[in-house]
Amino acid sequence: MKIALSAEGNGLDYKIDERFGRSLGFIIYDLDQESLEHVENRQNREAAQGAGIQAARTIVDSGASVLVTGHVGPKAFAVLKTAGVEIYTVTGATVREGIERYREGVLKRIDSADVEGHW
């Protein structure tokens, strides 16, 4: 099973990027194989609009069934929800801590967007 985390860099010790749509990138972590893949988010970060929608597409296309990030706006939430991706939020943690906390079941799961667009 794969879990996606918005990340400030390519590695487990980078911070989780609190922004979702305009995150610096994403770590796609395979919990069973304990393997890591990094996905750039440059194109969405520079999009004039719809960054959250396209970032959500990136997550859906990666095959991850769980997203751990800082905040999610309404449009990204709609895409992720339609695809059945579970969303958990965390702030001030590294990617490694995010994965550990997800495994321990202590992350907060959200069932609606927790911020307005462009927060």
Partner 1 sequence: MKIAVASGKGGTGKTTLSLALAGYLANRGYRVSLMDCDVEEPNVNLFLKANIRAVEQVSVPIPVVDGDKCTGCGLCERICAFNAIAVVSGKPLIFKDICHSCGGCMLVCPERAIREVPKEIGDIEEGSAGAISYIGGRLRVGEAISPPLIGAVRKHYADSHYTVIDAPPGTSCPVMAAVRGCDAIVLVTEPTPFGLNDLKLAVETMKRLDYPLGVVINRAGMGDDGVERYCAEEGISVLASLAHSREIAEKYAAGEVVEEFIRFFDGELGEIVSGLERLTGIRAVEVK
List of residues contacting partner 1 (CB under 8 A): 47-51, 53-54, 56-57, 60, 75, 78-79, 82-84
- What is the closest distance, in whole angstroms, from the C-beta atom of residue 107 to partner 1 in the complex? 23
Query: For residues 23 and 94, which CB has a smaller minimum distance to partner 1 in the complex?
Result: 23
Shortest Å distance, C-beta 61 to partner 1? 10
Cα 25 off chain centre by: 9
Calpha distance 27→112 (Å, rounded): 23
Euclidean distance between CA atoms 41 and 23, whole angstroms: 7
**Angle at CA of residue 57, ends 3 and 10, nearest 5°:** 50
Of 35 and 49, which CB lies nearer to partner 1 in the complex structure?
A: 49
Q: Which is nearer to partner 1, 79 or 99 (CB)?
A: 79
Largest CA distance in the chain: 38
How far apart are alpha carbons 7 and 19 in whole angstroms?
Answer: 9
Identity of the residue, 32 or 48, whose beta carbon is nearer to partner 1 in the bound complex: 48
**Min separation Cβ 50 and partner 1, Å:** 2
